[in-house]
Structure 1
């Protein structure tokens, strides 16, 4: 194997075992084999990777620059490059790869920042100087840009200071890694048996990503050998487990241990954590700071239905799919038509005797023909052999989603339409409708039921390769839009009085996404109960810190969800960056407690609320986990990715009430 990462002189920047993700194999393929592989390539990323390792300016000439048209319902292949540009790009790429092979596939050095910036500008149509730091951070070159620039042993060598991280999903692993890099003592508490968070818990049939996989990976652990662009649950969970192993985080994680409560001890300036051990016993631990990484989608939401307790069959939530359940030959009801139902239904339709899908609101679906496809063989070969190709491919996916469909969900005050909220939103609606209508020319009854009456973007938009409508067309499947009334014995009774006899009920009804930190009891300064103070309307400054709750940081907190222009991994890493910056300031300046002031908290929330009302999810009345019980968009980040990255890069101590240690 050829290690593609050049060793850095400063060991604080070393990635240790995580360098594995940059390893590639020497090239021994013939020119013909290389030409065949390049036919499957994602060309903009390949040109960038080859330009980086060869310093060949012809690879990033202006006539090869991807135009990257605005994103509609689908994304233009190859960034919208013309056929002529694609042919030239392939010819140049083959020439560069053959030359690299003939030089013995040497391990390249990371070029200087000026050349990296030039390549990034080529891919991004000359992104401004304000964007380049963010883009460099996502690329992760010439070093891990998100790593803390401090070490505890340098800032406060004699001070006892420890951090609790709650949750070992992707955001918890990110927090643990950054704390490990900074030399701060930490413990991760995970109530499950292994790492992964939602990717450990959700094991229902068909569970997989609906965000491109390369973009849905940690910036400091950029895996290159994903088998698919939208990977299955098992692949993602295995990736998270591998990262914890390679980064030596596993010894810091306590599995099967649940944090049930947090209480701020003002006199000692520590958080007292109430712990329930795996054997049911209880204990208490004390930490100077806490990073909550419990996420939004961890507490299943099960509707109250009269008679459910008396159901004669089996029922469960999709996130609690029993290992021993066999639906073969059964009459199965799936309640819900959101992301999990959308994956479950096509996966079990050929096994069950009868399938009843109970839908409240149909989803908007984005045409994605390759949703279930494996990475093409040539593309997979290039990822195994071209240094940094995986990084540039991840970078490319990040960039085309950076603004993404954000313009398509913009409210235009002069636009009058019964469904859409603006001209771009209407174009998106029409594209999605054309895709749906093409699948249902033979089933006008299903088309009527599957046509949303709310604007695109108001709810989670789903990836569609045709399997959803194909499943619902099956003769033993039925889509039911009548509201549920009650359950009687072995039947679900709808509002029209019809009985639907079933053996199994699957609740694909989502999560209590608005109930952040639930069910933990969190008591802050002066005995303030966080959930009582929130009163169902969860808010935080930058989605990370809350007045009256010192030294408590949240990842994936209120109003941090980038729902049409990025992934949860991005916002999670931003929150972790902010938290570790704040902890560094505490150590450097001798603070025992930092408590967010009310003024910046209120100003931030006013600004976010106002901007959310300019987006389809902020004005639509359709039920959605984007909004809380009060109807406020409490999950979504309405601004650009650049804006969230910028405000979370360092904690401004002017935003806090500061308490000196001892």
Structure 2
């Protein structure tokens, strides 16, 4: 599909609300309203996606006056990844009490790492409480968008699940489509030739019976780590193909210490969370404090990196009894180079007699199983691809490449913002507050467009280039530029495309106040000072105190 803009420019003079009055040549060159009555300009915003980012965007942007919202969601329900993720054992590897909004807390999570169903229900409940369902059109995928230079609006092409297409217009687009929503098959020769059951963790088939069957699981990321413990007790044999190992911790940590991995919170715990706000605030802050402190271990050569790596290796060696298996599963690179995942169940499962961890590379898939590079064929009845998602940062309507500005804006795309775009803080500390901070940044942009009668707001290409040069330079000192293979970096260039060059706190501080000098702006009128109005203030219009600067007098 295409994503482009028209080249014809509008030279007419707009009405105070920003609409053009038919191109009248004798139209006034200034607005017929007082200086400070600028927020009444109506703006329409299209939000793409109703996952965690989209839900928060709708809730927060709805607070802006004279802003209308419309959201298109490809699924039949809100939740994004947490609606789609249904494989057995699916859960969040971030503490539940930290994986929630700051403005709508759930204090009765059942576990420290809650299952996908519970997380999905949380986002549904938030959407219901804030009454945003009427703003969402479900079963609708945005497949294209075109910027109209004449009208200063986006024309957005939407494809419904029933095959019908429509075009919607907006003054601004917020792409909240997320990262982990476009799953992919691994690029392995012969994959589609497999005669058994072929499935992906992101498109799990609950009807498949694993009992007594030989199962091959390809992948070593979070989905593999979560699905293997569920499949292992049922299958007669499980082969786990690990191209690149990752650090897997046998403990929970982050404010919870227990001899039972991820045990349920007791009713006493939940009651105290609910009835004692100060206790709960301290508990949640302790979790997020540890999450944010962990960034220190992401600096190459730091004491925190050395200590953290030694600790993680010690923990894994203590949980894995076989020296051979230790050799296969304990990484030889920097801690945090790949995502750190807690899972004692996985470490237990791979040590069972019916499980083999295969580190030899895969040559091809045959009709009967997996052939490795040493020529060995390992037969399988079920082939599970736990190989993740397309994380190229190309949205489903192909407009975002691997580079952006602050993970929020993209050169060449006016009045367009993305949440969790390229080089976002996906692995740098607490994530949800960063999403909320991103929305606050976008809200400031909307208000500026509205109040200053801006037609288009677009980050400068030179600024975006300079920012990305900075990103790659800083990453030379961070572990994501390490020796591991991960989806955080481009396989061909080695450039870090997914991770912010700093901590989550650094990200939030950086975007707290927009640098408007980094943007090109065009206005709804040929004179950019048109918005100043007719020289009369709001105070004069409302016949208020015109000596306000002297303070109030006693009645």
What is the match of residue 294 of structure 2?
405
- Describe the superposition over 1:578-614 as per-residue Cα deviations: whole angstroms up to 9, x where unpaired: 1111001111111121111234323322222211111
Change (3 A) 1:556 1:308: same
RMSD over aligned Cα atoms: 1.8
Pairs within 5 Å for 1:296-311 = 296-311=179-194
CA contact under 8 A between 1:332 and 1:355: conserved in structure 2?
yes
Pairs within 5 Å for 1:545-624 = 545-567=409-431, 569-618=432-481, 620-624=482-486
- Aligned to 2:174, the other structure's residue is in SS state strand
Change (3 A) 1:189 1:487: same
- Aligned to 2:76, the other structure's residue is in SS state coil
- Aligned to 2:212, the other structure's residue is in SS state coil
- Describe the superposition over 1:367-421 as per-residue Cα deviations: whole angstroms up to 9, x where unpaired: 425542112333212012223543443233222322x222222123xxxxxxxxx
Unpaired segments ≥5 residues, structure 2: 1-35, 253-257, 526-555
Counterpart among 76, 81, 97 of residue 193 in structure 1: 76
Counterpart among 322, 325, 328 of residue 449 in structure 1: 328
Counterpart among 421, 434, 448 of residue 314 in structure 2: 434
What is the match of residue 488 of structure 1?
366
What is the match of residue 28 of structure 2?
none
Give 1:564 deviation, angstroms.
4.4
Give 1:642 deviation, angstroms.
2.7
2:346 equivalent to 1:468: yes
Give 1:549 deviation, angstroms.
0.5
CA contact under 8 A between 2:428 and 2:504: conserved in structure 1?
no
CA contact under 8 A between 1:562 and 1:638: conserved in structure 2?
no
Give the number of equivalent residue pairs: 481
- Describe the superposition over 1:216-242 as per-residue Cα deviations: whole angstroms up to 9, x where unpaired: 111111111111121110011000000
- Describe the superposition over 1:49-81 as per-residue Cα deviations: whole angstroms up to 9, x where unpaired: xxxxxxxxxxxxxxxxxxxxxxxxxxxxxxxxx
- Aligned to 1:235, the other structure's residue is in SS state helix
CA contact under 8 A between 1:582 and 1:650: conserved in structure 2?
no
Counterpart among 621, 634, 652 of residue 515 in structure 2: 652
Give 1:641 deviation, angstroms.
2.6
Change (3 A) 1:389 1:190: farther
Give 1:173 deviation, angstroms.
0.5
- Aligned to 2:501, the other structure's residue is in SS state coil
2:43 equivalent to 1:161: yes
2:502 equivalent to 1:639: yes
What is the match of residue 362 of structure 1?
245
Give 1:285 deviation, angstroms.
0.8
Distance in 2 between residues matched to 1:324 and 1:359, nearest whole Å: 26
Distance in 1 between residues matched to 2:345 and 2:267, nearest whole Å: 24
What is the match of residue 145 of structure 2?
262
Pairs within 5 Å for 1:16-415 = 155-157=38-40, 159-183=41-65, 184-369=67-252, 370=258, 371-387=261-277, 389-402=279-292, 404-412=293-301
Distance in 2 between residues matched to 1:458 and 1:485, nearest whole Å: 26
- Aligned to 1:260, the other structure's residue is in SS state strand
Give the number of the structure with larger relative contact order, counting CA–CA contacts within 8 Å between residues 6 or more apart: 2
- Describe the superposition over 1:469-515 as per-residue Cα deviations: whole angstroms up to 9, x where unpaired: 211121111111111111221211111111111111111111121x2
Change (3 A) 1:391 1:190: farther
Distance in 2 between residues matched to 1:521 and 1:439, nearest whole Å: 44
Counterpart among 348, 356, 362 of residue 478 in structure 1: 356
What is the match of residue 459 of structure 1?
338
- Aligned to 2:71, the other structure's residue is in SS state strand
Counterpart among 513, 517, 528 of residue 394 in structure 2: 517
- Aligned to 1:182, the other structure's residue is in SS state coil
Distance in 1 between residues matched to 2:504 and 2:193, nearest whole Å: 48
- Describe the superposition over 1:518-563 as per-residue Cα deviations: whole angstroms up to 9, x where unpaired: 33133xxxxxxx5xxx4xxx11111101111101001001111241
Distance in 2 between residues matched to 1:215 and 1:154, nearest whole Å: 40
CA contact under 8 A between 1:190 and 1:257: conserved in structure 2?
yes
More helix by share: 1
CA contact under 8 A between 1:212 and 1:229: conserved in structure 2?
yes
Range with greater deviation from structure 2 (355-364 or 178-187): 178-187
Give 1:355 deviation, angstroms.
0.8
CA contact under 8 A between 1:581 and 1:649: conserved in structure 2?
no
Give 1:571 deviation, angstroms.
2.1
TM-score by length of structure 1 reads: 0.70
CA contact under 8 A between 2:47 and 2:174: conserved in structure 1?
yes
CA contact under 8 A between 2:249 and 2:316: conserved in structure 1?
no
TM-score by length of structure 2 reads: 0.83
